[in-house]
Amino acid sequence: MIKAVNLSKTYGEQVLFTDVNFTVNPGERVGLVGRNGHGKTTLLRLLSGQELPDSGTLTFPKNYTLGYLDQQLRFSRPTILEEACLGLPAAQKYETWRAEKILLGLGFARADFNRPPVEFSGGFQVRLNLAKLLISEPNLLLLDEPTNYLDITSIRWLVRFLQSWPNEFILVTHDRNFMDQVITHTLGIHRQKIRKMAGNTAKFYAQLAKEEEIYEKTRINEEKKRQATERFINRFRYKATLSSRVQSRIKMLAKKEPLEKLAPLEELEFSFPEAAMPGKIILQAQGLSFSYTGKAPYLIEDFSLTVEKNDRIGIIGKNGKGKTTLLRLLAGELSPHAGSITRHPELKMGYFGQTNIERLAPDRTILEELESTSPDCTLQQARKISGAFMFSGDLALKKIRVLSGGEKSRVLLGKLLVSPSNLLLLDEPTNHLDMESGDSLLEALDAYNGALLIVTHNELYLHALVNKLIVFDQDKVAVFNGSYQRFLEEIGWESERDEPSLNQKASAARQPTNQRKALRREKAAIITRKSMVLRPLESTLGQLEKAITARENELQTNNEQLVAASTAGDGETIARLAKRNAELNAEIEQLYTELVKCTEEYEQAARQFEEELKKIETV
């Protein structure tokens, strides 16, 4: 058991948390939540020993190991695979297949294994650090935004990996959907205190809201009683016959401190201003082709798209395949080498790009940056938008250069409110936003009546918003007319396949004909046995995953209904859904146990058959 006792941490005048106590028990998978700047990363650094608390203690079991996702990029081995294998525990140091499996899951190809780490982008180098951490199998994983730089297929793999993680972990992420799929408990930093609760983030925040509502009602009632008591004292203070009663009430007031009113929490509250769109088709791309070299092979080739005024289009796929490039082409930031883009004369576009944060003028204040967006933006309008994005009063006078990544993202979103639009192009808008701000953005996009094209790896956004997809997969880009759930059910993501070794093929070709025939027969027999053994296991795995998905979908629906029931004070529905959720959680836990067992059996059998086949191919 990990135990925190009377833990406190401050930076100058900023108090992060004081006198907090919590435990993490064996097998618990904990989601750490709280607003940006409230101490989530600091708490992880305290747990990892990189920082010390101002007061209080942290205790761990004997011989307990911790793994912290290091953002420092330091590599000492000549290849990706060798660097990843540094994470293998001593007892597994020759089991390179473990490292290969995790590298593939995080988006590396087999062709990458022998390349030097320095040849890769910073994003893939961060993935390599994550791979080393996961390979090391510590008792406690400390994960601070592990989905940063991951694409949607890698995030989906990481969900499955963490769901089967046998030890403890503490996870910080802005992606609520990702967190809720993998955690068993929520640990929240709220009003300088830390509290832990079994269940997902929806349950945590619903309970928090309910408790604060009860607290406020209690405070108001007690304040009324105090005022009545004070009126009694003032009225009868000098009346001898009631002196004992007056003194009794004076003592009572002195003993009981009044409850303090809770300070209001700042919320990101806004809606995107809309411009009218008289036409049905607002943008049309025909035969687009583009490459940064100006010649083949093209990153985007012969791509066509029609955007209608009510379309909500998600742009999805692995990193580096052209999603951002396509958005920049549609926004007019890049020109295609072939093809054309036709825009409706009444089109008014709002564009949020990944690199736009760097385009903010560092020496401007937030107000000046907003005013510079349009000559029609008045100081009063800039003040109003600043307040909506939690930069009220003097905060709006802060220079851009001193803002955090999350604050700059809020300024960029605020710039979209200066001018009405009928088409929003958004490239990863949730990066740098905390969970609460991400929820507010989702609500604003859901209420927006214009067209939307959004690049995101956040599956919560995809499920909630889009009715059409642009899919980058297998070096192709195609339009899918349907929801993200339908895409998963009908097409899904193509799994990577190992390429056969050219050396093994050449070796087999040199063997005498009769020997080759005998080996082929033996190989065919092994393949037949492999199919007979693995096919039922594959079927079982598919059934288990389908059963888990069905229950998780029901759980998500129930949680949404729970929030609504809690708001409405519907106790009967709350009780019914809570009971069903407990049943679902138990069923999901059992299904995951069976899934892990079946997966291990499948992998063990597959390795055995592969070893038999390798022996034949090397003869």
User: Comparing C-alpha atoms, which of 357, 229, 335 is closest to residue 288?
Assistant: 335
Burial 582-612 (b: 16+ CB within 10 A, else e): eebbebbeebeebbeebbeebeeeeeebeeb
Taking the C-alpha atoms of 159, 163, 166 and 167 in order, what is their torsion angle to the nearest 10 degrees? 70
Question: Could you tell me if 463 and 345 lie in one domain?
Answer: yes
Question: Could you tell me if 220 and 120 lie in one domain?
Answer: no
pLDDT digits (tens, 9 = 90+) for 120-145: 888 899 999 999 999 999 999 999 99
Task: Determine which of 57-71, 86-100, 579-593, 600-614 has the lowest per-residue pLDDT on average.
Answer: 600-614
3-state secondary structure of 43: helix
> CB neighbours (10 Å) of residue 395?
15
Question: Could you tell me if 250 and 291 lie in one domain?
Answer: no
pLDDT digits (tens, 9 = 90+) for 535-594: 788 778 778 878 888 888 898 888 889 888 888 888 888 889 889 988 988 888 888 788
User: Comparing C-alpha atoms, which of 68, 69, 155, 175 is closest to residue 107?
Assistant: 155
483: domain CATH number is 3.40.50.300
Band (pLDDT 50/70/90 cuts) for residue 233 is confident
Amino acid at 372: S
Question: Could you tell me if 229 and 335 lie in one domain?
Answer: no
Cα–Cα distance between 529 and 609 in angstroms, integer? 9
In a domain, 513, yes or no: yes
User: Comparing C-alpha atoms, which of 157, 169, 154 is closest to residue 123?
Assistant: 154
Band (pLDDT 50/70/90 cuts) for residue 316 is very high
User: Comparing C-alpha atoms, which of 146, 145, 81, 74 is closest to residue 111?
Assistant: 81
pLDDT digits (tens, 9 = 90+) for 83-134: 999 999 988 888 999 999 999 999 999 999 999 999 988 889 999 999 999 9
Q: Which of 428, 455, 490 is the last residue of a domain?
A: 490
Amino acid at 432: H
In a domain, 273, yes or no: no
Average pLDDT over all residues of the chain: 86
Helices 435-447 and 405-415 cross at an angle (nearest 10°) of 10
Question: Could you tell me if 78 and 157 lie in one domain?
Answer: yes
Q: Which comes out higher in pLDDT, residue 36 or 173?
A: 173
**Over 80: is that where the pLDDT of 511 sits?**
no
Burial 135-172 (b: 16+ CB within 10 A, else e): bebbbbbbbbbbbbbbbbbbbbbbbbebbeeebbbbbb
Question: Could you tell me if 27 and 109 lie in one domain?
Answer: yes
**Over 70: is that where the pLDDT of 149 sits?**
yes
Residue 486 CA to chain centroid, in angstroms?
A: 21
pLDDT value of residue 600: 80
Distances (CA, A) of 222 to 135, 216, 229, 258, 614: 56, 10, 10, 8, 78
Q: Which two tokens stand for residue 465?
A: 């918003």
In a domain, 269, yes or no: no
Q: Which two tokens stand for residue 89?
A: 């525990």
Cα–Cα distance between 484 and 426 in angstroms, integer? 17
In a domain, 266, yes or no: no
pLDDT value of residue 510: 34
> CB neighbours (10 Å) of residue 48?
17
Residue range 522-531: mean pLDDT, rounded = 65
User: Comparing C-alpha atoms, which of 586, 565, 585 is closest to residue 576?
Assistant: 565
Cα–Cα distance between 588 and 546 in angstroms, integer? 11
In a domain, 543, yes or no: yes
Question: Could you tell me if 460 and 526 lie in one domain?
Answer: no
Cα–Cα distance between 516 and 508 in angstroms, integer? 7
In a domain, 125, yes or no: yes
Residue range 494-505: mean pLDDT, rounded = 39
Question: Could you tell me if 556 and 411 lie in one domain?
Answer: no
Band (pLDDT 50/70/90 cuts) for residue 232 is confident
In a domain, 78, yes or no: yes
State which H helix or E strand residue 144 sits in: strand 140-144
Question: Are 92 and 98 within 8 A, CB to CB?
Answer: yes
Question: Could you tell me if 195 and 239 lie in one domain?
Answer: no
Question: Could you tell me if 121 and 240 lie in one domain?
Answer: no
Question: Could you tell me if 19 and 155 lie in one domain?
Answer: yes
Beta-carbon contacts of residue 113 (< 8 Å; ≥ 6 apart): 79, 80, 81, 100, 103
User: Comparing C-alpha atoms, which of 2, 107, 127, 9 is closest to residue 62?
Assistant: 2
**Over 90: is that where the pLDDT of 421 sits?**
yes
Domain count, the chain: 4
> Residue 133: phi, psi to the nearest 5?
-65, -45
Q: Give CA angle at 500 (496, 505), nearest 5°.
A: 170
Taking the C-alpha atoms of 521, 522, 523 and 527 in order, what is their torsion angle to the nearest 10 degrees? 100
Cα–Cα distance between 528 and 531 in angstroms, integer? 5
In a domain, 271, yes or no: no
Band (pLDDT 50/70/90 cuts) for residue 12 is confident
- Indicate the pTM of the whole model: 0.71
Band (pLDDT 50/70/90 cuts) for residue 189 is very high
> Residue 255: phi, psi to the nearest 5?
-75, -30
β-strand partners of 59: 3
Question: Are 484 and 469 within 8 A, CB to CB?
Answer: yes
pLDDT value of residue 518: 58
Q: Which of 464, 490, 516 is the last residue of a domain?
A: 490
Distances (CA, A) of 347 to 73, 276, 295, 326, 422: 44, 9, 31, 18, 7
Question: Could you tell me if 185 and 225 lie in one domain?
Answer: no
Cα–Cα distance between 349 and 444 in angstroms, integer? 16
Q: Which of 205, 237, 271 is the last residue of a domain?
A: 205
Cα–Cα distance between 472 and 474 in angstroms, integer? 7
Residue 484 CA to chain centroid, in angstroms?
A: 17
Residue range 400-416: mean pLDDT, rounded = 87
Label residue 321 exposed, middle or buried (CB < 10 Å: 0-12, 13-18, 19+): buried
Structural domain including 587 reads: 502-617
Question: Are 187 and 172 within 8 A, CB to CB?
Answer: no
Residue range 194-209: mean pLDDT, rounded = 91
pLDDT value of residue 121: 84
pLDDT value of residue 527: 67
**Over 70: is that where the pLDDT of 503 sits?**
no
The edge-to-edge listing of strands for the beta sheet with 300-308 is 300-308, 281-290, 338-343
554: domain CATH number is 1.10.287
Distances (CA, A) of 473 to 491, 494, 504, 580, 595: 11, 8, 29, 38, 27
3-state secondary structure of 72: coil
Cα–Cα distance between 162 and 171 in angstroms, integer? 10
